[in-house]
């Protein structure tokens, strides 16, 4: 079956599943009963259908914290985005804005930042925002499981006076501000499950709703006075609650096992994350130690087919370790690495990687001896879509005589194989910081350097890029990406997208970002 027919068949299957019964990639744990006579769901809700249809509601977990630095529940994290301002906002085109930072400066060497805070901004508890609140929140982010990965270069954070935050870094980073898309809460409120903040909505003691904050001035009128919080836990219960308008907005990971397959009369907006899927090479594998062979292999990845079909449109293809949404993405360089099996085969032909013994598989010459090529590709079996992409890569290479065996492993076995080097190629996903600092992925002592990359030039290019000012940033990034593309220590595949799903014609003005689904909520209009 050719590629086009396979794509059409896959799309028809997906459509039939969604329209017939709304089945998800993840099987529900239980099916919640529905009272067909009353048309209502069991659980925590307003209780009557008409009332539920006339208010704006989100799903949450009442037993877990609504503190953005304490909760681990994605539903509750979504709620906190309505309550907290971020230090900086980053729109889907990587433009920086801030409601709370009025000015910033950076030292000549690029290691000392000074942020000026707008201390006239009211907080939900009646106080006004201070630099101490902001510095405290950045420090919480630095130490949190969710945000700590982006702050490996952070040296210190402090406040001076009411309006000044000082940030120091271990090495120059003139793109630090891109990392500060973290929520601000009141100083000392980490232990509170509902902390005071400065965002458009506020918690109300003892109530399962958010109240529009009167102090959120100068940003335009908010679309509703209250946002109701309702609780549905089981998969089928959540789907039914949304389709029956008991909850009005959901975020869905269409590429992963958490894809719930929402049906009904809906509208969908996408936002692109910095979660990059990629292949990594074990540099101790003799065949993969040759740069020209790794370069050829990256031409055998059909990224568009992977993103659009195998990941159900839940990703955007990328041949570079920078999101295509970023202005730093170089499309001309990226196009050089597009899927091209013929060119891949031509490179192997030109380097004497050929079927030396007429068995249908290519071999290569090393130390004057014929060497078999049989590569072991590991992938986590618990990650939806990744196994299919790995198998497609294997099938494509098999068609030109390169043997790649895909080994699907449980999460624990996959981690053990990564840590012990028991692989030739691995399929992985990494959440890159928004400044696309690749230090933790490509440098010699990096925590995610599973392939044993041992080339100090990567650190040199990365550090030069991070230290570049506005005038030289694009060129420095290009030089870094060119070196990576040429030497191919990893093979980027795509960046994940997520869905924001609402009822058709119910909400207009939605412009979600990876750090704030409710970005620009003052521009929303909600109509029930």
Q: Which residues pair with 116 in a beta bridge?
A: 103, 164
37/431: higher pLDDT: 431
Q: Are residues 183 and 253 in the same domain?
A: yes
Element (H, E) at 227: strand 226-230
123/30: higher pLDDT: 123
Two structure tokens written together for 109: 């060497």
Give the C-alpha separation, 355 to 398, whole Å.
Answer: 12
Q: Are residues 169 and 280 in the same domain?
A: no
Taking residues 494-509, what's their average pLDDT? Answer: 91
16 found inside a domain = no
424 found inside a domain = yes
Taking residues 95-99, what's their average pLDDT? Answer: 93
Q: Are residues 514 and 409 in the same domain?
A: no
Q: Are residues 146 and 92 in the same domain?
A: yes
**Beta carbons within 8 Å of 188's beta carbon, 6+ residues apart:** 136
Q: Are residues 243 and 288 in the same domain?
A: no
Sign of CA dihedral 225, 229, 235, 241: negative
Find the domain containing 280 and state its range.
273-497
**Beta carbons within 8 Å of 341's beta carbon, 6+ residues apart:** 299, 300, 396, 399, 400
Tens digit of each residue's pLDDT (9 = 90 or more) over 448-491: 999 999 999 999 999 999 999 888 999 999 999 999 999 999 99
Percent of the chain at pLDDT exceeding 90: 73
pTM for the whole thing? Answer: 0.85
Give the C-alpha separation, 137 to 182, whole Å.
Answer: 8
23 found inside a domain = no
35 found inside a domain = no
Distances (CA, A) of 290 to 75, 264, 296, 323, 489: 46, 52, 10, 27, 10
Give me the CATH number covering residue 298: 3.10.105.10
Tens digit of each residue's pLDDT (9 = 90 or more) over 247-282: 999 998 776 555 555 656 788 899 999 999 999 999
pLDDT of residue 200: 95
- Say if residue 337's pLDDT is above 60: yes
Give the C-alpha separation, 455 to 405, whole Å.
Answer: 28
Q: Are residues 74 and 211 in the same domain?
A: yes
Q: Are residues 370 and 319 in the same domain?
A: yes
pLDDT of residue 32: 27
Q: Are residues 260 and 345 in the same domain?
A: no
188 found inside a domain = yes
Tens digit of each residue's pLDDT (9 = 90 or more) over 291-320: 999 999 999 999 999 999 999 888 999 999
Give the C-alpha separation, 38 to 184, whole Å.
Answer: 43
Q: Domains in the chain: how many in total? A: 2
19 found inside a domain = no
pLDDT of residue 244: 87
């Amino acid at each position: 079956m050719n590629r086009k027919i396979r794509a059409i068949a896959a799309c028809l299957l997906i459509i039939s599943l969604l329209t017939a019964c709304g089945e998800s990639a993840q099987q529900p744990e239980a099916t919640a009963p529905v009272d067909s006579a009353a048309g209502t769901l069991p659980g925590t809700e307003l209780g009557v259908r008409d009332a539920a249809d006339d208010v704006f509601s989100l799903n949450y977990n009442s037993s877990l914290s609504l503190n953005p630095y304490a909760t681990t529940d994605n539903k509750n994290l979504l709620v906190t985005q309505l309550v907290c301002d971020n230090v900086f906002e980053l729109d889907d085109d990587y433009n920086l804005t801030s409601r709370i930072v009025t000015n910033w400066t950076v030292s000549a060497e690029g290691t000392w930042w000074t942020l000026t805070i707008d201390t006239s901004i009211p907080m939900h508890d009646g106080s006004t925002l201070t630099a101490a609140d902001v510095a405290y929140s950045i420090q919480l982010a630095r130490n949190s499981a969710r945000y700590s990965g982006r702050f490996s270069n952070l040296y210190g954070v402090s406040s001076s006076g009411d309006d000044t935050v000082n940030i120091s870094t271990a090495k120059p980073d003139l793109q630090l501000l891109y990392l500060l898309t973290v929520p601000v809460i009141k100083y000392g409120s980490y232990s509170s499950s509902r902390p005071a903040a400065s965002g458009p909505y506020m918690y109300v003691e003892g109530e399962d709703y958010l109240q529009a904050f009167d102090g959120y001035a100068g940003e335009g009128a908010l679309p509703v006075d209250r946002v109701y919080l309702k609780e549905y836990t089981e998969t089928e219960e959540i789907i039914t609650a949304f389709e029956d308008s008991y909850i009005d907005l959901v975020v869905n990971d269409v590429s992963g096992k958490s894809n719930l397959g929402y049906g009904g009369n809906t509208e969908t907006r996408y936002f692109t994350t910095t979660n990059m899927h990629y292949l990594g090479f074990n540099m101790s594998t003799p065949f993969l130690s040759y740069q020209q062979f790794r370069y050829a292999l990256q031409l055998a990845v059909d990224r568009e087919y992977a993103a659009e079909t195998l990941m159900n449109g839940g990703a955007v293809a990328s041949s570079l370790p920078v999101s295509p949404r970023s202005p730093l993405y170089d499309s001309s360089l990226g196009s050089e690495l597009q899927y091209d099996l013929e060119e891949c085969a031509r490179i192997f032909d030109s380097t004497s990687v050929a079927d030396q013994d007429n068995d249908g598989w290519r071999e290569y010459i090393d130390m004057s001896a014929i060497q078999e090529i049989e590569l072991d590709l590991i992938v986590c079996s618990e990650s939806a879509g990744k196994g299919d992409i790995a198998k497609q890569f294997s099938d494509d290479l098999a068609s030109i005589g390169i043997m790649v065996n895909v080994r699907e492993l449980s999460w624990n076995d996959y981690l053990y194989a990564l840590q012990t080097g028991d692989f030739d190629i691995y399929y992985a996903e990494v959440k890159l910081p928004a400044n696309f600092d690749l230090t933790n992925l490509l440098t010699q002592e990096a925590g995610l350097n599973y392939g044993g990359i041992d080339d100090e030039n990567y650190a040199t290019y990365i550090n030069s890029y991070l230290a570049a000012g506005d005038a030289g940033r694009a060129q420095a990034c290009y030089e870094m990406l060119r070196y990576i593309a040429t030497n191919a220590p990893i093979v980027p595949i795509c960046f994940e997208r997520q869905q924001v799903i609402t009822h058709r014609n119910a909400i207009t003005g939605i412009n979600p970002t990876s750090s704030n689904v409710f970005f620009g909520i003052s521009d929303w209009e909600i109509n029930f």
